Amino acid sequence: MQTIIYTFVVSLALAAMLGFLLGVFKKVFHVDVDPTEAAVRAALPGANCGACGYPGCDGLAAAIARGDAAANACTVGGAAVAAEVGRILGVEASAETKAVVLLCQGANDKCKPKAEYVGVKTCQAAKLSVNGTKLCDWGCIGLGDCEVSCPFDAIHVLEDGIPHVDYAKCTGCGICVAKCPQSILSLFPTERKGAVALCSNRNTRKAQVIKDCKVGCIKCGKCEKVCPKACIKVTNGIPVVDYSVCDSCGECVRNCPTKVLALLETTVTVG
């Protein structure tokens, strides 16, 4: 019994001493926080995703307060956070709200696998070892590097074998874009309208494209011919749209024989 009491007393004394020392150290090594930095930190969303290039929101707040980062550096917060940080700094700041779009429609029933893949189950590994798992070398590998990397649980690879974006959760941070080894995820402003090519197959051989994927761009150039604004051009095998001219008439979408083209306003559905 005495041993138990003795142990309890010693433990209590050690705890009290450690608590006292922590209090002393806090006083001795206290560093005053820049009020501007604290205000900026309070305005940031607290996602700590690192998409801004700094180690979390604390790192970004310190950089903004020092003048090393712009008021709109938080890609997650969008226009509202940029405006609030700008108000704190006494400057005007704005930011576009963006969302990610998958530039591929090669689901399992549209684009078949080359063979059974038995390697490391990541897109990066499959890309390095066998140049992807699908017949289309440019298509979505579908092993979910984007899903794993998303800090907002906004993108998931479903049973059809391709990722789907939950635009209610997507913040446009761009982390999944950077992680995709096929470079088929792209960021677009959520307010942008116009056509977009949901295909990244740059093979110029029409027969091979048709063989590889049922929804691949066959480079027929029909989109160019029917566009009344002449704002779409097949470049390096993929239709590219000049959004400064495109009025979202939808002629290219309606006339695309393989349904590669879609309108951004119907693809990115926010709110």
> For every one of its 271 residues, what pLDDT tens digit does the chain have, with 9 covering 90 and above?
678 887 878 888 888 888 888 888 777 776 667 889 999 999 999 989 888 889 899 999 999 999 999 999 998 888 889 999 999 999 988 888 899 999 999 999 999 999 899 999 999 999 999 999 999 999 999 999 999 999 999 999 999 999 999 999 999 999 999 999 999 999 999 999 999 999 999 998 899 999 999 999 999 999 999 999 999 999 999 999 999 999 999 999 999 999 999 999 999 876 5
248 part of a folded domain = yes
Whether residue 156 is found in the same domain as residue 181: yes
d(CA 44, CA 57): 7
| Boundary residue ending a domain (89, 110, 125) | 89
The whole model's pTM is what?
0.80
Whether residue 60 is found in the same domain as residue 155: no
Whether residue 244 is found in the same domain as residue 190: yes
Whether residue 251 is found in the same domain as residue 181: yes
Whether residue 242 is found in the same domain as residue 139: yes
164, HSE (Cβ side, Cα atoms, 13 Å): 7
d(CA 184, CA 251): 24
Counted domains in the chain: 2
9 part of a folded domain = no
257 part of a folded domain = yes
Whether residue 55 is found in the same domain as residue 176: no
CATH value at residue 76:
1.10.15
d(CA 97, CA 122): 29
44 part of a folded domain = yes
φ, ψ at 175 (rounded to 5°):
-65, -45
Give which of 79, 58, 42, 51 is closest to 151, Cα–Cα: 51
Give which of 170, 179, 120 is closest to 148, Cα–Cα: 179
